[in-house]
Structures are given as structure tokens and as C-alpha cells.
A = this chain, B = another copy of it.
Amino acid sequence: MLLDTPQQGTLADIASRRLAQSIVTGELAQGQKLNEAELAERFGMGRGPLREALRHLEGMRLVKRIPNAGARVVVLDRKTLSDLYTVREALEGMACRIAATQMSDDEIAQLSTLLDQDEKQIQKQAGKVYAQSEGDLDFHYQIARGSRNQMLMDMLGSEQYQLLRMCRYRTSRNAQRTQPALSQHRQIVNALANRDGELAELLMRRHIQGAWRSISEMIDKEEKETA
């Protein structure tokens, strides 16, 4: 995978990664209070590095800190997710537009190969998960890289995709949107291959809007079940 960060630096960095992992996978529930002393002990470190990690996660929007009252795991309610997908639409649309002029033919071909692999995996798993899987994120991240825009890559990579993964862990059981998603990916690659940035941006934005509609419906169902 291209999104994980195996290299281990300071304790604060390690704590940051471990916490991010726990939050994304749902091991730490949304809204859960994060006790500094407890976490520090669990990770075998002092509270200093852990506090720095919390600051970092706050910047990544994975936790919300309230002065003198501690940190809690962020809660992905409907509004927050809606906002997230809107921002993604803007950023990935732009990335896609630029990628159409900046990516090499080789990179675009690799992107196509990636989709072939995904398709095989889908058939093997009988349409289990795709738009919910890491393969999808790889596709999007490769396009972000294609923009050659470091800030764009940072924003999409280190913040947004973590939140997306978090959202997916929460709602992964349901949701079958693999076929339309794969088809849309193919269209996007076509536009990139034709160096049509405007079309590529349009398609990417539509793709993300579609993903949001799918997630949104899923949230509706869940709310009805819960109620």
C-alpha cells in the first residue's frame, strides 16, 4: 500500500500512527474520550510525546481537543461527511485536471493496469468490496500524485484519506457500488489518456458526488434501523 508510513521516528510519531490506526479502524469509538495517562501507559511512553501526537492528530482532524478538558475521537456525523466529500470533490477534481497534463503515458498505463487488477479481485470476491477497499484509495492517490502538487498530495493523503478510511470501516458491511465505481474510474483514465483535463475533472467530480450519494443513502438506512 502506498498510504501507510512504516518508518518509525520519534515516540510522538509512533503514537500518532498507532492512534490514527486505532481511530480509523474503529478500535477507538467515535466520540470516545482519550485519556492521556492511560494511552501513554498502553504505548509505554511518557505523556509528553503522547500530547504531541494528539496535537498532530488534531491537525489531521482525527481528534478534537478542548482546552483543559481533553481530547475525543472525532465523530463523523452526516454534516461532517458531507463537508468532507465536498472538499474532496474540489481537491480531487483539480488534481485530476492537472494530472491530465502532467502524468506520463507510462503512469497512465499503470493506472489502467491497476484497474485491471481491481477488476480481477472483484470477480474473485464476487463483488464483495471495492469502492470500500484500499484499491480505490490507491487509484485516487495515484492521480493526486500525478498532479505534481505537493500540497494537494499532502492534503489528500495525510488528512482526507484517513477520514475516508474511517468512514469506510464504519459502513463497509453494506454498500455495493463496485461496478459503477470501476466503470467511472475507467472513464477517468480514458480522459487522462486523451489529455482532456477539463473532462477528467468533470468525471472525477461526478464520481465523488456519486460516492457521496451512495454513502448518504447508507447513512439514512442506518439511522432508520437505529431509530
Contact = CB atoms under 8 A, between A and B. Distances in A.
The DSSP consensus for interface residues of chain A is helix
Contacts of A98: 86
Contacts of A60: 59
A152 B86 contact: yes
Counted per complex, copies of this chain come to 2
Q: For the side of the interface on A, what is the size category?
A: 20 to 34
Given A59-B59, A59-B60, A90-B90, A83 B150 contact: yes
A10 interface: yes
A152 B84 CA distance: 8
Which one of A55, A79, A91, A149 has the greatest number of beta carbons of chain B within 10 Å?
A55
Nearest to A90: B94
A124 B94 CA distance: 39
* Residue from A10, A52, A89, A152 whose CB has the most chain B CB atoms within 10 Å: A52
Contact of A48 (B48, B56, B58, B151): B48
A87 B83 contact: no
A6 interface: no
A80 interface: yes
A67 interface: yes
